[in-house]
Amino acid sequence: MTTLKAVRGTRDLLPPETALWNRIEATARRVFARYNFGEIRTPVFEDTSLFARGVGEETDIVSKEMYSWEDRARAQSEKSQSLTLRPENTAGVVRAYIEHKLGETGQLQKLYYIGPQFRRERPQKGRYRQFSQIGAEVIGPPSAGSESPLRDAEVLEMLATLLDELGITGWQLHINSVGSSADRARYNDTLRAALVPLAHKMCADCQRRAVTNPLRVLDCKVPEDQPIIETLPKIADALDEDSKSHFAAVCAALDAASVLYTRNPRLVRGLDYYTRTTFEFTHGGLGAQNALLGGGRYDGLSEGIGGPKAPGIGFAMGEDRLVLTLQALNQGAAPPQVDAYIAPLGESLNPAALALARELRRAGLSVELGDGSFRLKKSFDAADKAARRIVILGEDELASGILTVKDFSTGIQSKVPRAELAAHLAQPAA
Interaction site with ligand HAM (CB under 6 A): 88-90, 119, 121, 126-128, 131, 133, 135, 137, 270-271, 291-296, 298, 314-316, 318, 320-321
Q: How far is the CB of 399 from ligand HAM (least distance, A)?
A: 58
What b/e string do you get for 120-155 counting C-beta neighbours within 10 Å, with b at 16 or more?
Answer: bbeeeebbbbbbbbbbbbbbbbeebebbbbebbbbb
Toward ligand HAM, which CB reaches closer, 259 or 268? Answer: 268
Q: How far is the CB of 389 from ligand HAM (least distance, A)?
A: 41
Q: How far is the CB of 296 from ligand HAM (least distance, A)?
A: 6
Q: How many CB atoms lie within 10 A of CB 332?
A: 14
Strand, helix or coil for residue 284: helix
Toward ligand HAM, which CB reaches closer, 157 or 384? Answer: 157
Toward ligand HAM, which CB reaches closer, 29 or 127? Answer: 127
- Beta carbons within 8 Å of 254's beta carbon, 6+ residues apart: 153, 156, 157, 175, 261
- Beta carbons within 8 Å of 58's beta carbon, 6+ residues apart: 212, 213, 272
Toward ligand HAM, which CB reaches closer, 247 or 298? Answer: 298
Toward ligand HAM, which CB reaches closer, 9 or 167? Answer: 9
Q: How far is the CB of 313 from ligand HAM (least distance, A)?
A: 7
- Partners of residue 47 on adjacent β-strands: 83
Q: How far is the CB of 416 from ligand HAM (least distance, A)?
A: 49
Toward ligand HAM, which CB reaches closer, 275 or 337? Answer: 275
Q: Across the chain, how many H-helices and E-strands are there?
A: 15, 16
Instruction: With beta carbons less than 8 A apart as the criterion, state whether 180 and 242 touch.
Output: yes
Tell me how far apart the alpha carbons of residues 177 and 294 are, in angstroms, rounded to a whole number.
13
Tell me how far apart the alpha carbons of residues 207 and 223 are, in angstroms, rounded to a whole number.
15
Q: How far is the CB of 9 from ligand HAM (least distance, A)?
A: 8
**Nearest-5° angle of CA 136, CA 25, CA 177?**
30
Tell me how far apart the alpha carbons of residues 10 and 428 are, in angstroms, rounded to a whole number.
39
Q: How far is the CB of 59 from ligand HAM (least distance, A)?
A: 9
Toward ligand HAM, which CB reaches closer, 254 or 367? Answer: 254
